[in-house]
């Protein structure tokens, strides 16, 4: 049971970064970016492509080397450019015309299928890994099995969340983003260039999304539908953590990660003991959806409203 909680923390860390990418778009541009999951997948596969020409190298303890870090950085840059181009050519004209938000959602759905088809076309449906071979794993008490790579993912996520939090609340640009989110017209009058803010937000979202995708590929594996299967969980982290709430998104991401892993294991034990032939590993997303419904009906403004995690 403790092992499933640890697995939930690892998954929750990845969900947090993906959720922050979606949260930034929601905070400034006021719509849920349904392509967030597909960009998540694209970022992971871009790093995989770069590793085909970059030597992996090695670090002590973990299974990867400086090659993966370089591939991650290049993936961040390329995905940020792609997302910025999509925003400029598709969403910016909609904002200028004050189009209904339904147009944004329809455009996002269209991009989702286009990008998903491109991923299948370029890399195929096969599962892939950044590192081949058996990885080192620590076997601890309570059924906990954790690899150094997974420990790296959790620690790196906490560091990234801390950096993003400082940026948003203690830098001039971060405060300008918050001002634009609160009142874009007043921010424009105050001298803040909303167009530049939108571009900055999209770049940050691209960096966070690419990082989340690479971390998923490192901790688990590369799958063409991996972002799509985590999309509901990322939406949960955004909605239940609160709009633009960085610490709230972290808290909600960990909650949904643990719920999916620990909850599915508990239900599997119940189903096995009662003879019900259900494999819960294929229904983890259902738990995310059910928990989201419960939160929306009881705490629609976020589960951390009024606490320090509201920021």
C-alpha neighbours within 13 Å on the C-beta side of residue 267: 16
Q: What is the DSSP string of 223-243?
A: -TTHHHHHHHHHHHHHHHH-T
Per-residue pLDDT of the chain (311 residues; tens, 9 = 90+): 778 889 999 999 999 999 999 988 887 777 778 889 999 999 999 999 999 999 999 888 899 999 999 999 999 999 999 999 998 998 888 888 888 878 888 888 889 889 999 999 999 999 999 988 777 887 887 778 899 999 999 999 999 999 999 998 899 888 888 888 777 777 777 778 877 888 889 999 999 999 999 999 999 999 999 998 888 889 888 888 877 788 888 988 999 899 888 888 888 888 888 888 888 777 777 887 888 788 778 776 667 665 555 56
Dihedral of CA atoms 81, 56, 19, 137 in degrees, nearest 10, equals 180
pTM (whole model) above 0.85? yes
What angle, 0 to 180 degrees and rounded to 10, lies between the N-to-C axes of helices 284-298 and 246-274? Answer: 120
Residue showing tokens 């996520």: 157
Give dist(CA 100, CA 194) in Å, integer. 19
DSSP annotation of 136 reads: P
Give dist(CA 74, CA 57) in Å, integer. 16
């Amino acid at each position: 049971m403790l092992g499933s909680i640890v697995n939930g923390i690892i998954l929750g860390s990845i969900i947090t970064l993906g959720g922050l990418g979606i949260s930034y778009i929601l905070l400034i541009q006021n719509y849920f970016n349904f392509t967030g999951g597909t960009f998540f997948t694209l970022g992971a596969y871009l790093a995989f492509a770069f590793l085909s020409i970059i030597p992996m190298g090695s670090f002590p303890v973990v299974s990867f080397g400086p090659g993966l870090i370089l591939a991650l950085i290049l993936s961040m840059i390329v995905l940020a450019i792609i997302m910025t181009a999509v925003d400029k050519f598709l969403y910016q004209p909609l904002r200028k015309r004050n189009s209904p938000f339904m147009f944004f959602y329809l455009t996002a759905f269209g991009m989702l299928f286009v990008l998903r088809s491109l991923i299948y076309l370029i890399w195929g449906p096969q599962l892939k890994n950044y590192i081949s071979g058996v990885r080192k794993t620590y076997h601890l008490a309570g059924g906990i099995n954790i690899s150094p790579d997974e420990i790296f993912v959790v620690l790196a996520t906490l560091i990234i969340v801390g950096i993003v939090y400082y940026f948003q609340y203690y830098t001039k640009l971060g405060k300008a983003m918050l001002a634009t989110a609160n009142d874009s017209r007043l921010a424009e009058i105050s001298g803040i260039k909303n167009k530049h803010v939108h571009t900055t937000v999209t770049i940050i979202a691209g960096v966070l999304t690419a990082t989340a995708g690479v971390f998923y590929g490192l901790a688990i594996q590369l799958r063409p539908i991996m972002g799509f299967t985590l999309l509901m969980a990322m939406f949960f982290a955004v909605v239940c953590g609160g709009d633009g709430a960085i610490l709230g998104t972290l808290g909600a991401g960990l909650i949904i990660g643990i719920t999916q892993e620990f909850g599915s294991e508990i239900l599997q034990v119940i189903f096995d003991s009662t003879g019900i032939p259900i494999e819960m590993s294929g229904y983890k997303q259902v738990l995310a959806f059910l928990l989201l419904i419960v939160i929306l009906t009881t705490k629609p403004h976020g589960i951390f409203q009024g606490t320090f995690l509201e920021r």
